[in-house]
Amino acid sequence: MKKISILALLLISYSFGEVITIVDNGIERKIYINSKNDPRSVIREKGIIVSFKSNDIDISNFASKYKLKLKKRLSAGYYIFINNSKYTDIDLIKKISKESKDIVKTIRPNWGLGMIPR
């Protein structure tokens, strides 16, 4: 009986959350966001991390297309962008993953390790 109640609680908690797909080194991964009403799901100031499949991508064109501002270029080939669009970071990641999957190698929120906003 306890197992059923625990399972029911887990299902209820997941029903109020959202699972988003990120691309990590060409592999799609799923991360769980607690709730659509959770303040972490509307984060805009942390930005997103992107790496591209090729080195000949016009970064300024990519940034202007999605209303991003380049914050930092990391030596490993990753770019940290600040989100200046009308979308939340999560919604923007979904949009870029769908529209630019042919050029994007990795895209994820800039939340640090464990995909938890800092």
Read off the pLDDT of residues 42-87 as tens digits, 9 standing for 90 and up. Answer: 555 578 999 998 888 899 999 999 999 999 998 888 999 999 999 8
pLDDT at residue 88, rounded to an integer: 85
CB 79 within 8 A of CB 59: yes
**Which residues, in sequence order, are CB contacts of 41 under 8 Å at separation 6+?**
18, 33, 34, 35, 88, 90
Domain boundaries, the chain: 2-115
Mean pLDDT of the chain: 76
